[in-house]
Amino acid sequence: MLPIRPRSALRLLSALTLTAALFATPVLADTTTAALAKAPASGTKAAATVNAAATAAGATASSGWNNWSCKPSAAHPRPVVLVHGTLGNSIDNWLGLAPYLVKRGYCVYSLDYGQLPGVPLFHGLGPITASSQQLADHVDRVLAATGAGKVDIVGHSQGGMMPRYYMKFLGGAPKVNALVGIAPSNHGTDLGGLLKLLPYFPGAAEAIEHLTPQGLTDQMAGSAFLTKLNAGGDTLPGVRYTVIATKYDEVVTPYTSQFLSGPDVRNVVLQDLCPLDLSEHVFAGLTDRIVFHETANALDPAHAKATDCGDVFS
């Protein structure tokens, strides 16, 4: 038998964990697919129909989150809104982190956004401006249900970047206390240098624009969306920002492009917390308990405890 390298072993374990998690949610898959079949072909009404169905399914399939009767405690007075990444959804993206936070006393809610007609379960593909409005509607619903004045938002990948548009252009900043981005696409990605080749191939950018969902092209470094989002600075007053990035990110590259500049910003490199952590882009958000521990610290900095490799057992 060939020896298994530590990094390969860790990724194998993560893959097995993810596979088990995905097979644990057949109810969501069946319910959401059925909702998509009945939903109108396009428009806000279609997105709202699918989102409502997915939320209802999530209440059944999830472990304690999307509980609309939950009332925030004095210890954790703000509900937490989880925003999935590109190709993710409101359940599968959060099978690890959501129960982790619920167990620690938080009211936790997730949403589906960026749905495309005929594409069940794989979301975050629509125009990010429209997705931001879906987040705005969801936050309003969470605040109305819980009676809280503000939420904290935790997002993975696109979900760590998109809330910044909601806060900057849709009036969301007064409703948000903190934003935690896990491997967020704050300044886009060059996909390992691919985008740097585009100027040398006339028509390539236009071809990608027409063949790729806008939720992807919006995240390309230098896109009109990101140029507008980042103009005038990365942050807004009154919101605390935390970015958790991994050196092994192969999707949002270079990983340092995830960092934000401005007041009330904390940029964290996962390997500075635990040098042995080999999580890449996907597993940093889905299964990494060191990331989860640092996320909890960001949500409650007054009671933060130093994060290290031992927190994989927390």
176: nearest Cα among 12, 73, 16, 299: 299
Whole-number pLDDT of residue 120: 84
Whole-number pLDDT of residue 100: 97
Q: Write the DSSP string, 177-207.
A: EEEEEES--TT-B-GGGHHHHGGGSTTHHHH
Domain boundaries, the chain: 6-303
Per-residue pLDDT at 31 exceeds 90 = no
How far apart, in whole angstroms, are the C-alpha atoms of residue 127 and residue 29? 23
Tokens at residue 252, please?
A: 């949002």
115: nearest Cα among 123, 103, 104, 127: 123
**pLDDT tens profile 104-122:** 999 999 999 999 988 888 9
Tokens at residue 268, please?
A: 């964290």
228, 280, 289, 293 from 14: Cα distances, Å:
36, 10, 11, 17
For the chain, the helix, strand and coil percentages under 3-state DSSP, each to the nearest 5: 50, 10, 40
Per-residue pLDDT at 197 exceeds 80 = no
**pLDDT tens profile 137-174:** 999 999 999 999 999 999 999 999 999 999 999 999 99
Assigned architecture for domain 6-303: 3-Layer(aba) Sandwich (3.40)
Whole-number pLDDT of residue 202: 75
Whole-number pLDDT of residue 196: 57
**pLDDT tens profile 247-269:** 999 999 999 999 999 999 999 99
How far apart, in whole angstroms, are the C-alpha atoms of residue 94 and residue 27? 15
3-state secondary structure 244-303: EECCCCCCCCCHHHHCCCCCCEEEEEHHHHCCCCCCCHHHHHHCCHHHHHHHHHHHCHHH
Q: Is the peptide bond before 254 cis (omega within 30 degrees of 0)?
A: yes
How far apart, in whole angstroms, are the C-alpha atoms of residue 128 and residue 228? 12
Whole-number pLDDT of residue 15: 37
Tokens at residue 43, please?
A: 């428009």
Quote the mean pLDDT of the chain.
82
Whole-number pLDDT of residue 209: 66
147 in Cβ contact with 73 (< 8 Å):
no
Burial of 264 (0-12, 13-18, 19+ CB in 10 A): middle
